[in-house]
Amino acid sequence: MLLSRICSAMFLSCFVVVVAFAQTSPPTPIPCDQNPVYHKLDFWLGEWDVFDIKSGQKDGLNRIEKILKGCAIVENWTEAVDRSEGKSVFYVQRATGQWKQVWVEDSGGMKEKSLQDSYTGEGVRFQGEILHKSGGSHLDRTTLIPMNGGRVRQTIEISRDAGKTWETIYDAEYRRRK
């Protein structure tokens, strides 16, 4: 009899908990296109002619566009000389609110980077660790800085000493296509 009452009490307790959870729904997230976090890269959206800063030579075309109702950004790069391509997907990891990037080239190369919240300069900076097939790795970072006249500067740097020193491997100016 005592066992029966204990079982009945446990069942009733479980039922109350289940009903309480069923009636409580998680808060509805703000749609991406209305959430300020998802507008961090808006200055970079558009169609661009990309020029090497040192030589002034046109390096390629880049189309940066929002997709999935503003929840992600796709970068569509085409090299000027050989028409090789690369694509990035930028997205916000909802649990942390941090922007992430995955870059893939038609040659098979790829990079994964995260927005560096500690960066205090103009624009934004993404950084990641690039693993080598032969072992080891290096750091790779991309800084995007809005400039006067609607232009954007992109600087890509690498570090082979865990971030003590950085070498610029690409420095470009984005000009809106006309």
Give domain status of residue 39, yes or no.
Answer: yes
pTM over 0.85: no
**pLDDT < 50 regions, the chain:** 2-3, 7, 12, 14-22
Evaluate whether residue 21 is within a structural domain: no
Give the per-residue pLDDT at 24: 66
In whole angstroms, what is the distance from residue 156 CA to residue 169 CA?
6
The pLDDT assigned to 29 comes to 76
Residue 16: what pLDDT?
Answer: 44
In a domain? residue 148:
yes
CATH number for the domain spanning 107: value is: 2.40.128.20
Half-sphere exposure of 160 (CA within 13 A, CB side): 5
| Domain annotation covers residue 2 | no
Q: Is residue 97 part of a domain?
A: yes
Residue burial 99-123, b: 16+ Cβ < 10 Å; e: rest:
bbbebeeeeeeebebebbeeeeeeb
Domain count, the chain: 1
**Residue 129 half-sphere exposure toward CB, CA atoms < 13 A:** 7
Predicted pLDDT of residue 19: 45
